[in-house]
Every structure is written in structure tokens, then in C-alpha cells.
Structure 1
Amino acid sequence: MAGIKYEIKENKGVLSESPKGWKKELNLVSWNDRTAKYDIRDWSQEHDKMGKGVTLTVDELRELKNILNNMDLS
């Protein structure tokens, strides 16, 4: 993405991988030198290309965790 600076501070895990090698990951990412936030999106193998994703604060991630913990996935 042109003009957007990012740094993956910490990889928390891989959710899935496509046949082309792109991985949907949960990372802690600093965007444009700002405080790092949790981020879920697809990344190319070299992390030089990315898909659309969602960025969450710690509070939003906690709320998402609560929602997922209370879901019946059966």
C-alpha cells in the first residue's frame, strides 16, 4: 500500500493460509509510527503486500474475545 508505513511488532498467530501462500494473521502492528494495535488481515509471504483487514485496540480485542467465548460454535 503506497504511502502507508507499517511495522509488524509481533506475530501472534496464523489463522489460515491460502493456496497462493498468503496468510491471514493476527499481528501487533504499528501504522505510520503510531502506537501498535492488534490487526487481522491477509499478508503475502514476504509481508510486503497485504489485503484489507481490521485493526483493534486492546479494549476492542478484549471485547471480541468475550463475544467469541460466549458464542456457541456447534
Structure 2
Amino acid sequence: TTQLIAAAPERHLWAETYRRGVSAVLDVAGEVARSIAAEIGIALTPSEHTRLSTTRPVDPAAYEAFTLGLFHLER
């Protein structure tokens, strides 16, 4: 679940639940970005919309290795 909360005053603006496989993680990221832009009234340019809509599948093993690497980097 992704939520958008206004900082001051704190209020809930938007929430959405995404249920996809790991290979669609970039698709979800693009959908979240487009939804947030729409919610806060930002008009995306055609090139921004295309960039957020065009993704490739992610290898789940590679993504897991990447996130594990980030975890160890931040430790």
C-alpha cells in the first residue's frame, strides 16, 4: 500500500494498494508517480508520461540481490 500524506497540516490525501510480482516493480513505480502527480495537480509532459509508462520486466533474483546490497550498504 502506498499513501500520500500532506505534511502540514497532516492529512491523508491518497492511498492505493498494488499487488504485482517483483518483475513488475518498475511498472508499479511509474503508476505511483503518475497517481501522485495527478493527486497534487501536476501535469506531466508527454515525455514524462511516456518515461513513466515504458518499463521492462525486472529479474526477481537481480532485484533481490540489489535490495540486499542496499540493506548491507546502509547497515
**TM-score, normalised relative to structure 2:** 0.34
- Tell me which protein shows more strand as a share of its residues: 1
Q: Which has the higher contact order (CA 8 A, sep 6+)?
A: 2
